[in-house]
Amino acid sequence: MKELNGRVAVVTGAASGIGRALAARFAAEGMSVVLADVEQDRLDEAVREVGQTGAPVTGVRTDVSRLADVEALAGRAIERFGAVHVVANIAGVESGAPLADIPLELWSWVMGVNFWGTLYGCRVFLPLLRQQPEGHIINASSVAALFGNASTTAPYVASKAAILGLSETLRHELAEAGEPIGVSVLVPGPVDTRLPDAERNLPEGVPAMSGHPARKALLDMLRGLGASGLPPDAVAAMVVAAISEDRFYILTHPEHAAGFLRPKLELMGIADSAAAPAGGLA
C-alpha cells in the first residue's frame, strides 16, 4: 500500500505499547483508526489521546481470544467507517514457568490471545480487505520465535513461532493468487512495553506464574531490557515503512535475529555458529 491517508486501520492491543503507538502513527498518517483492547480504562484513554489529533477514531473493547469479540470488532469498524484497509494484530501476552509446572489453563490463555487472536484477526478481516483495491495485514511475532533458549517462556515462544509460520504461509498464498493484500510480520527485540506485566489481565481461573522462583530473574531481565529498549514510536515508524514497501519481515533488531538464527543453522550442520547477543522477548 502506497497511500494510507483516507484509509481505515484496525489495531488490536491498542491501549498500550506498540499497539498504542501504531494507532497514533496511523492517525498521524491521515487514517481513521479503530482501537481494540481488553483493558477498557486504558482503551478509553488511548482513544481520547489519539482523537485529540483530529483523526476519526473509535474504541472497541475486545478479547481477541474470543472469535465473537473479533467478529464484533469487524462489525463495528464497518458500521463506523464503512471499510477496513489495514489490520494490525498486535495484542499479546506472556507468562510461563518451567514446562512441567505450567498449568494447561495458562497455555490456553497465552495461545488464545497470541496465536488464536492473530488467526481470528486474519480470518475475520480478510474478506473485508478483499473488498478493497488493496490492503495489508501486520501480525506481531517476536525474536522469541527465533530463540527458544529462554527458560520458562515455552507458551510465548510457541505462540510467536506459530504466528511466524501462519504469516509466512498467508503471504505466500495471497501472492500466489495475485491478491493485492500485503502481509508483514513484526519481529521485535527489546522494546519498552508492559509485556512483563501481562498477567495484569489474567482471566479468572488462570493461575499467576509471576511469583514462581524460576520466573523472577527472567521478569527482572525483561523489565531491564525493555527500559533500555526501543520506544514503541520507533517501532510504529518501522511498521508504516514496511507497509509502504510491502516488506514481509519487520526486524527491530536485525543483529539479534541474525545472532539467534546462527546457532540453529549450526545445529542443522549447515553453518558455523556465532554467539547470540543478549536479548529478550518483545
Which positions ≥6 away from 73 have C-beta within 8 Å? 10, 12, 34, 36, 60, 62, 124
Q: What is the DSSP letter of 132?
A: S
Q: How many angstroms separate the CA atoms of 48 and 116, rounded?
A: 29
First to last CA, the chain: 26
**β-pair type (57-61, 249-251):** unpaired
Q: Label residue 47 left, alpha or beta by phi (over 0 means left) and psi (-120 to 50 means alpha).
A: alpha
- Strand, helix or coil at 82? coil
Q: Which of 156, 159, 164, 195 is catalytic?
A: 156
Q: How many angstroms separate the CA atoms of 85 and 6, rounded?
A: 10
- Strand, helix or coil at 60? strand
Question: Is there a contact between 134 and 1 (Cβ–Cβ < 8 Å)?
Answer: yes
- Nearest CA to 23 out of 75, 77, 66 is that of 77
- Strand, helix or coil at 161? helix
Please give the single-letter amino acid code of residue 253.
Answer: H
Q: How many angstroms separate the CA atoms of 114 and 63, rounded?
A: 11
Tell me, rounded to whole angstroms, the distance of Cα 28 from its chain centroid: 20
Q: 249 catalytic, yes or no?
A: no
Q: Which residues are catalytic?
A: 156
